[in-house]
Amino acid sequence: SLYTEKQTSRFQRRMLALQPSEFVKASSDGDSAKKVVVGGRLNELLNEHIDNLPACNDTSWILDLALDLYVRTCTAESSDFFLLHGVTSSWAMNQMSHLIQDKYKLHRSMEIALLCTYVVQGCPMIQKDLSYLGNSENWEDLVKSATAVNCSDEHVMKLVQVAKEQSLSDDRHLPEEIYREAAARVLNLSFRF
């Protein structure tokens, strides 16, 4: 197929399939080209319908959406590695958004990226009611665990830092326990790719 020839992961190939058709070159294989056009059309339809929705104009809300989605799609054994990146990239967007003039495009791009990541990851079940892993843990213990010598994964440290920082923000939109739960889950669960 068109994407399996490249050195990419399953996630990357699926995200490429959602690109608008003008970004994707068709291969000589008719079936692959057809799949590419369908994927491109899906992205175009998504953009067409999302553009009719009002933009939230609140980068902190998008960060909280990503955090809540990360927490609520964890299973008892694992958390989604790519949705974790949705949290850290939303945090980066939140940090630099004051430098961007066209916030509408910035927010819309991030909203679409989060939605596409959720879809590409197979639309993991979103838990309405949470059983908390780390409800009793305080931030000092969570940070200590994230910076421990045996915790060498930078993804864990970044998510704990982002969750703690957002929990202390005046712009937060979630209950405090969701932020601590995000930190507890990244510390205690394995990654699902």
Cα 51 to its chain centre, rounded Å, is 20
Neighbours of 17 (CB within 10 A): 19
pLDDT in tens, 32-87: 443 434 444 555 655 665 555 555 668 899 999 999 999 999 999 999 999 999 99
What is residue 149's predicted lDDT score, i.e. its pLDDT?
63
pTM assigned to the model: 0.77
What is residue 116's predicted lDDT score, i.e. its pLDDT?
87
What is residue 170's predicted lDDT score, i.e. its pLDDT?
93
Based on C-alpha coordinates, what's the Rg of the chain? 18
Ranges of the chain whose pLDDT falls below 50? 1-3, 23-40
Determine the Cα–Cα distance for residues 174 and 164; give it in Å rounded to an integer. Answer: 12
What is residue 105's predicted lDDT score, i.e. its pLDDT?
83
What is residue 34's predicted lDDT score, i.e. its pLDDT?
38
- The secondary structure element, H or E, covering residue 78 is strand 78-80
- Among the listed residues 145, 171, 19, 147, the one whose alpha carbon sits nearest the alpha carbon of residue 91: 171
What is residue 57's predicted lDDT score, i.e. its pLDDT?
66
3-state secondary structure 36-68: HHHHHHHHHHHHHHHCCCCCCCCHHHHHHHHHH
| Residue listed under structure tokens 């059983």 | 131
Question: What burial class does residue 73 get, using C-beta atoms within 10 Å of its C-beta: 0-12 exposed, 13-18 middle, 19+ buried?
Answer: buried
What is residue 48's predicted lDDT score, i.e. its pLDDT?
63
